[in-house]
Amino acid sequence: MPLLEVERLSKRFGGVRAVHEVSFVLDEGELLGIMGPNGSGKTTLFNLIAGALRPDAGRVRLDGRDIGGRAAHRVCAAGVARTFQLVRPFAGLTALENVLVGALYGRGTARDPVTEARRRLELVGLADRADVPAASLTLIDRKRLELARALATAPRLLLLDEFMAGLNPSETASAMRLVRDLVAGGLTVLMVEHIVWALLDLSRRVIVLSAGEKIADAAPAVVASDPAVIDVYLGTNP
């Protein structure tokens, strides 16, 4: 059984069809990339899976259990964590305190939340910044902090939304190594990313959305040469 099953998921905002009958499965331990131009429905899809939005139609199953339409905190408790393109840590709290929030309010598996929070900070390379206020961290460190907070919830599935947005090439390479390490450790990842070359390099399989619909679902090399995908990104030659 796949870890995640998305079946004919749909969402409209008034007359705008944001996501239309999108279906896919994600196996445990897999990294699945999602790409598409702005407005293609990527973030809406994430919001539907994570519980920030209720679907108009369709199903979302985690390990065979229906989680579609559940409140976000219940989806998190079921084992789904996410990051956001625009990181928003608790600015008045330290890095450790930020991650402690995840350890306390996630799946509730940590016997010692403080130790768990420190372990997650070490994993993302922020152990030496534990007592630093979140507001004082650089962009890459705030992204690492948000990732550590998500990991502290003990997820089975991690949704990464534009984790590399705004990073320079060196920071992007570092972020890619971190994502690879997480997958190598057994975590299942669903990843939206605008840095296409990084997404193709990291993913075993890539889904492409356009105007809310899935237009491709294949290995990275196949997707990169798909005429429909090229047309969506570059337009048809006159």
Residue 176 lies in a domain: yes
Q: What is the pLDDT of residue 71?
A: 94
Distance between CA atoms of 26 and 160, rounded to whole angstroms? 14
Burial class (CB in 10 A: 0-12, 13-18, 19+), 82: buried
Q: What is the pLDDT of residue 110?
A: 67
Q: What is the pLDDT of residue 111?
A: 78
Residue 107 lies in a domain: no
Total residues found in the chain within this entry: 238
Task: Identify the CATH number of the domain in which residue 15 sits.
Answer: 3.40.50.300
Residue 34 lies in a domain: yes
Average of pLDDT values for 165-187? 92
pLDDT at 40 over 50: yes
Contact 3, 28 (CB under 8 A): yes
Distance between CA atoms of 102 and 119, rounded to whole angstroms? 12
Task: Categorise residue 101: left if φ over 0, alpha if ψ from -120 to 50, beta otherwise.
Answer: alpha
Residue 221 lies in a domain: yes
- Locus of tokens 């939005």: 53
pLDDT at 54 over 90: yes
Task: Render pLDDT for 26-37 as a digit per residue (tens, 0 to 9).
Answer: 999 999 999 999
Closest CA to 101 of 143, 152, 141: 152
Q: What is the pLDDT of residue 232?
A: 87
Residue 94 lies in a domain: no
Q: What is the pLDDT of residue 238?
A: 44
Closest CA to 94 of 127, 67, 57: 127
Q: What is the mean pLDDT of the chain?
A: 93
Domain that holds residue 223: 4-79+156-233
Residue 223 lies in a domain: yes
Average of pLDDT values for 113-140? 94
Q: What is the pLDDT of residue 11?
A: 97
Residue 97 lies in a domain: no
Domain count, the chain: 1
Distance between CA atoms of 138 and 87, rounded to whole angstroms? 11
Residue 170 lies in a domain: yes
pLDDT at 234 over 80: no
Q: What proportion of the chain, given as a percentage, has pLDDT over 70?
A: 97
